[in-house]
Amino acid sequence: MKLPLADARTLVAGALARAGAGAAMAESTARALVLAESQGLGSHGLSRVGQYATHLANGRVDGAAVPAVARRKGGAIVVDAGGGLAFPACELAVREAVSAAREHGVAYAGVVRSHHGGVIVDHLRPVAASGFVGLGFANSPAAMPAAGGRHPIFGTNPVAAVFPRRGADPLMVDLSLSEVARGKVMVAAKEGKPIPQGWALDAAGNPTTDAAAALQGSMLPIGAVSSPKGAMLALVVELLVTAVIGANFGFEASSFFVDEGNRPAIGQAFIVIDPGALAGNDAYLDRLEVLVAEMLKDDGVRLPGARREALRRKAEAEGIEVPEALVTRWRSA
C-alpha cells in the first residue's frame, strides 16, 4: 500500500515508541528511516524498524537515553548518545558542529556510545543548508578484514560529504568502504537471493555468493581483489570515529543482525567547514560551479546525490510503498 511520508513517519515512530523508545528518539529515528526509504535506500530504511525495535526490547538500545554534549574544546565536541539510537545524538552533534564552525571556521563533532548511524550523508543536510561543507564518518560492528587478513575487524565504515551549491541541490556523496553496504547483503539473505562474487567471504575466509554465509563471514573492502586501498581507508575511518573520540572499535560491538548482544557503543563523527573562512563564500561557490560545468561536458555524468533527490521529491509528492503486513505489524507492535 502507498503511504504519504507523514503517515509512514507516524507509524514508524509509534512502533519504536511501543518497543521502548522515548518520544524524541522515536520521532528522530522515524524521520531518518522514512527519508532513507524515500530515496530508494531500502537497506537503511523501513527494513531497519524491526531490528531497532528488537534491540530496544532486548536492552541493546536504551530507549530512555537523551544525548548530551559530554566534552567541548573550541571547535572540538563530543556528544554522548547514552546507549540510545544514533539519530537524535547525530542531530545534536551536527547542530553543535555548525554552531562551532560559525565561530571557529571548522568544527569536529564526535558521537560516542552510539548505534547504527543510518544514511550518514542525510545527517549532513543541515550543514549544506547552512552554506557549509560537511564530512561524515561512522563505524559499525566488525564486517571487513584488515589488508591481507581474513577475520572481520572493521565495520563497513561509510564516508559522506556535502558541498552546497549556488541555487542548486548540494553535491551529496555517500559510500560504504566495503564493496557493497552490508545492509544490501542482509536484504539478499532475507529474500534468499545470491550476491555477486567479490562482495564477501564466508566464515572460513573463502569467497562466497551465499548472502547468509556472507553475514556469518566478512565483507570485502572496496577493490580488495586488486589493492589494499579500501582496507586502508577503512582503517582511517575506524580511527577517526573510535580512538580520536572515545567510541568502541567495530570488533568490540555485537552484530546489528543478531537480537541479543551488547550495546555496540560505536561512533560517528562530523566535520563542518565554513568556506567563507577560507576561499570566501563567493569564490567557493564560483569555483564549485566551474568544476560541475566541466564534469557535465561528458554525456552520462550524474552529479552525486541527484538520483536520490529526484526519488525523494517524487516520494514527497506520491508517497512510498509499504507492505500491508508491515503496516499491520507496526500498528499491533
Say if residue 34's pLDDT is above 70: yes
For residue 268, pLDDT beyond 80: yes
Q: Going by CATH, does the domain composed of 2-178+221-277 fall within 3.20.20.70?
A: no
Q: What's the pLDDT band for 333 if we cut at 50, 70, 90?
A: low
Helix (H) or strand (E) holding 189: helix 182-191
- pLDDT tens digits, 302-328: 999 999 999 999 999 999 999 888 888
For residue 330, is pLDDT > 90?
A: no
pLDDT at 182 over 70: yes
Q: Residue 147's beta-bridge partner residues?
A: none
For range 186-212, the mean pLDDT: 90
* In the chain, beta strands by DSSP E: 2-3, 68-73, 76-80, 106-114, 133-138, 159-163, 171-175, 200-201, 207-208, 218-219, 266-273, 320-321
Q: What is the pLDDT of residue 103?
A: 98
Please give the share of the chain, as a percent, with pLDDT higher than 70: 100
Query: Is residue 55 scored above 90 in pLDDT?
Result: yes
pTM of the model: 0.93
pLDDT at 237 over 90: yes
Share of the chain above pLDDT 90, in %: 83
C-alpha atoms less than 13 angstroms from C-alpha of 174 in its C-beta half-sphere: 22
- Give the pLDDT score at 331: 83
pLDDT of residue 329: 85
**Confidence at residue 166, expressed as pLDDT on a 0 to 100 scale:** 97
Give the range among 99-113, 143-157, 251-265, 277-291 with minimum mean pLDDT.
Answer: 143-157
- Pick 13 or 151 by higher pLDDT: 13
Distances (CA, A) of 324 to 9, 14, 34, 68, 188: 15, 16, 16, 37, 21
Mean pLDDT of the residues in the chain: 95
Residues 6 or more apart whose Cβ sits within 8 Å of residue 12: 26, 29, 30, 33, 34, 46, 49, 330
Task: List, for residues 132-149, the tens digit of each pLDDT value.
Answer: 999 999 999 998 989 888
Amino acid of residue 313: R
pLDDT (average), residues 172-187: 87
